[in-house]
Structures are given as structure tokens and as C-alpha cells.
Amino acid sequence: MWKRPWGYKEGLVCGAGLFATGLFLQGTVGNIHWDLFSRPVNIIVLAAYLFLLAVLYGLRKKVYCFEWLTHYTAAVSSLIWVAAITVVMGLVRQVPATQPSADWLGFSKMLSFWPFVLLYIWMVTVLGLTILRSGFPFRLRKIPFLLNHAGLFIALLTATLGNADLQRLKMITQLGKTEWRATDENGNLSELPLAIELKGFTIDEYPPKLMLIDNETGKVLPAGVPEHLLLEDEVTEGRLLDWNITLLKSIPMAASVATEDTLKFTDFHSMGAAYAVYLRATNIKNGQAQEGWVSCGSFMFPYKALRLNDKVSLIMPEREPQRFLSDVTVYTRQGDVRNDTIEVNHPLKVAGWNIYQLSYDETKGRWSDVSVFELVYDPWLPYVYTGIIMMMLGAVCLFVNAQKREREDFGEKKISSDEKEVSSDDSRTKARKGDRV
């Protein structure tokens, strides 16, 4: 071992040394605090790292270790170590950055784990030196290789160093009010360079559904695979287990009214209205029948269940949101005003911020006057996308070159075959001439 040229054994030992060094740093220094690398520190670190790569590449002829880092055995060894520790990361439950590690070693916070970071730096360094070795001197045929590797290098490096500048905040807005403050995951309040005014909030809900529950346990039936009857438009009857359900009256917006001996529902086109149905449930085995109101209720009116017998009751769970969005007006420090809507998976991009629809006042449901937004600011994201696009272009170039080489090989084989046929024809012609002589 350690005899030139170095191979996989030396590479695996180098990885073990980095892992042991990382464990020592983890035990003495603790987790890596990435917030210390926020701008301009990350820019300085990036410049110093690129300069160091250039120095390593320039000294590769004098220091064998630096030359070995450009060899494929170093690349494969680093990939094996990074893949192995990534598998461990996938098997161990990771905790948020704001929480302490769940184990004394630190495997549950792998992104701040010294061994993981050192092995990651080793892999990226090998990747950078490989790019320099292949890029000088430059050849057109190396473009696909350079695009793939340089794109991966840019994406990995900028995603790591840019993580410190990433801001992920939560803003709670009320209808008709303007908010410019947001809180981070630690609850710290920050003032933003933009303000959001909530103009309106809309929820589209799935149709209500009826279900059976056990009177003693309150669990839906049948246990494990509950059945439901979806009250879509024009649905007037259905079946749940041994019960035939017939809808006699439906009120999409209703309010409960207490009478002397019962509770009934009436039309109520105002805030807090709930869905209610009057129905008949008939048992198909014994003919037992029950009639009454069933409602999912709201923040103003209680839900209403229909007791069918001593064991089973019929209920209507809360309606599930299908789609919800907010009408907003966004103001920036530059004086820009933008009116738009924000919907789940359809963020609004303003002044470098991505504004996502996160939640609402779930106690009020469709009548919520509160909208919760998540605001994300990631100035390094365009560079990460640049690296990804470069990798995609490299893949396209590799595919095109492969098709081109296949056509060239086919052409060469065809020419060779034609030449053999011509040679065979010449031989037969000479043979016939000899026979005549």
C-alpha cells in the first residue's frame, strides 16, 4: 500500500481517515453552524476554495497526492464513501436544524455532521480537479464531459454555500390588513422589504360524505377500511354496510335551530353556515329505519349525528379542502404594487421572494379571514439551476454524439462490406479468365 500508482485501497483508507477526523471534530467542536457562512463569508470561502483548486492543479506535477486526486481511482473512492454515508442518512431519521441531534454522534443531523461534510468536500474537490484536467487543453469533443461535470460541480457548490443565505419565513395576514413582518422557524420576528395585503380568501371544498361510526369507540366503520357515501350533485341514495341511505332534503348553507323537542336546520346564507341533510336510514336485515338531520357543523354551529341503534351512528365529517387561494396586493420598497393570487403549488414571485400559500384558519374553514404564507428567499438558486441546465445539455450532447458515432460505425461497416464484395467479384473474374486460357 502507498506505492505508486495509488489505487482503490489508498482511496478507501483516505476516506476512513477523513471520517475519523470528522468524528474527532464532531466530538470536540460540535455540529457545523452553517449560519456562520452567510454573505459575505460564503463568497469569500467560495473564492478561496476555487483558488485552492487552482493551486492544487498547478502543483500536481510536484506533489503526487494532488495528481492522484485527478485520477479515476480517487473519484470512485470518494463516491463510494459519500454513497455509503448518504445511505446512512436515509436510514437514520433526520431532525430539523433547530432541534438538537437525536443521537450522541450526530447522525440524525447529517448536513451538519463533520464526517459527512469532509467526505463531501473530498468528492467535490476531486470533481473540480477532474474538470481542470479535462479542460486544459480544451477540445470540442470534451464539451459533453465538461458540461456534465462542471454543471454538477456548480450545482453542488452553490447549493451548499447558498444554504446560509436561504431565508424561510412565515407570515400571518388578516383580511383587509397589510402585513410586513414574518417569523422564522425559531419564532424570531423580522421586517421584510415587502408587504402583503390580504384582499380575499377562497376555499373550494370536496363534496361532503357520510360515514358510520362505532358508538363506543367513535371509530369509523368498518375498522381499517372505512366506507363512505359521497354526497355529490344528484346523489339521492346509497348504501353503507347494512344500511340503505335515502336523502330527503339537502341544505348546502344551513344553520341549526333548536326547537322544544329536537334540532332542525334551515337556510342560512351567512358566515358560519354548514352543510346539512335530512335523510332516512333503513337496515336491510331487520327493516329498522331512522330519520333525522346530519351535519358536519362549523365554527358557529355544532355537528349533528344520527343515532341508528345502540351500536352505530351516522355522521358527516368536516369537509376537506380541495383548493384554496388568496387574493393579495404586494407592495415593495421600490414602490411597485402588484395585485395577484397565491395558490398552493402556484407561488407568487416578487422582488426575489417566492410567496407560497401555506395555511389558513382551519377552525373557521371556508369562512377563514386569515391566510398564512411562507416566504422563501434564495439568492443562490439561479446558480443551482444553471448547473442543472448544464448537466441536461451535457446529457443531450452525449446522446447526439452516440447517435453520430453509431451512424459512422454503420457507414464504415457498409463500406468494408462493399469492398469485400468488390474484391470477391474481382477474384471470380480473374478465375474465369484463367479457365478460358
**Residues 375-400 pLDDT 10s:** 999 999 999 999 999 999 999 998 88
Judge whether residue 81 has pLDDT over 70: yes
Judge whether residue 256 has pLDDT over 90: yes
Task: Check whether residue 257 and residue 187 sit in a common domain.
Answer: no
Task: Check whether residue 24 and residue 97 sit in a common domain.
Answer: yes
Average pLDDT, whole number, for the chain? 90
Q: Which residues contact 266 (CB under 8 A, 6 or more apart)?
A: 251, 254, 255, 257
Q: Which residue's entry shows cell 447549493?
A: 159
- Given CA atoms 335, 338, 342, 345 in this order, what sign does their dihedral have? negative
pLDDT band at 172 (very low <50, low <70, confident <90, very high): very high
Task: Check whether residue 261 and residue 286 sit in a common domain.
Answer: yes
Give the span between the Cα atoms of 155 and 386, in whole angstroms: 7
In a domain, 111, yes or no: yes
In a domain, 73, yes or no: yes
Beta bridge partners of 179: 196
Tell me the pLDDT tens digit for each residue of 299-335.
Answer: 999 999 999 999 999 999 999 999 999 999 999 999 9
Task: Check whether residue 303 and residue 271 sit in a common domain.
Answer: yes
Judge whether residue 425 has pLDDT over 80: no
Judge whether residue 437 has pLDDT over 50: no
Given 312, 337, 367, the domain boundary residue is 312
Give the span between the Cα atoms of 131 and 153, in whole angstroms: 9
Residue 75: CB atoms within 10 A of its CB come to 18
**Cα–Cα separations (whole angstroms), residue 97 to 24, 40, 103, 106, 432:** 21, 22, 14, 12, 89
In a domain, 412, yes or no: no
Give the span between the Cα atoms of 408 and 415, in whole angstroms: 11
Among 28-42, 67-81, 102-116, top mean pLDDT goes to 67-81
The per-residue pLDDT for 2 is 87
Strand-by-strand arrangement of the 178-183 sheet: 337-343, 321-332, 189-205, 178-183, 167-174, 370-377, 353-360, 348-350
In a domain, 425, yes or no: no
Given 287, 312, 337, the domain boundary residue is 312
Give the span between the Cα atoms of 167 and 66, in whole angstroms: 37
From 306, 191, 160, select the one nearest 243 (Cα to Cα).
306
225: helix, coil or strand?
A: coil
428: helix, coil or strand?
A: helix
Tell me the pLDDT tens digit for each residue of 15-32.
Answer: 999 999 999 999 999 899
Give me the DSSP letters along 125-182.
HHHHHHHHHHHSS--GGGHHHHHHHHHHHHHHHHHHHGGGG-EEEEEEEEBT-EEEEE
The per-residue pLDDT for 61 is 92
**Cα–Cα separations (whole angstroms), residue 254 to 246, 251, 364, 365, 437:** 19, 6, 15, 15, 115
C-alpha cell at 149: 461535470
Q: What is the dihedral of CA 54, 60, 66, 72, to 10 degrees?
A: 100
Q: Which residues contact 437 (CB under 8 A, 6 or more apart)?
A: none
213: helix, coil or strand?
A: strand
In a domain, 114, yes or no: yes
Mean pLDDT to the nearest integer, 216-235: 92
Looking at the structure of the chain, the number of domains it has is: 3
In a domain, 161, yes or no: no
Task: Check whether residue 191 and residue 222 sit in a common domain.
Answer: no
Which H or E run includes 400?
helix 381-436
Task: Check whether residue 198 and residue 337 sit in a common domain.
Answer: yes
Task: Check whether residue 44 and residue 126 sit in a common domain.
Answer: yes
Judge whether residue 107 has pLDDT over 60: yes
Give the span between the Cα atoms of 204 and 131, in whole angstroms: 52
Task: Check whether residue 173 and residue 222 sit in a common domain.
Answer: no
Range of the domain at 54: 8-136
What radius of gyration do the chain's Cα atoms show?
35
Task: Check whether residue 19 and residue 126 sit in a common domain.
Answer: yes
Q: Which long-range contacts (CB under 8 A, 24 or more apart) does 3-10 make?
A: 4/64, 5/68, 5/71, 6/64, 6/68, 6/71, 6/73, 6/74, 7/73, 8/73, 8/76, 8/77, 10/68, 10/73, 10/77
Task: Check whether residue 326 and residue 200 sit in a common domain.
Answer: yes
In a domain, 150, yes or no: no
359: helix, coil or strand?
A: strand
The per-residue pLDDT for 382 is 94
Task: Check whether residue 14 and residue 126 sit in a common domain.
Answer: yes
With 0-12 / 13-18 / 19 or more C-beta atoms within 10 angstroms meaning exposed / middle / buried, residue 216 is: exposed
Pairing of strands 209-214, 229-230: antiparallel
Give the span between the Cα atoms of 161 and 45, in whole angstroms: 8
Pairing of strands 263-267, 274-283: unpaired
| Gap between the terminal Cα atoms of the chain | 74
Task: Check whether residue 190 and residue 236 sit in a common domain.
Answer: no
Given 136, 155, 177, the domain boundary residue is 136
In a domain, 142, yes or no: no
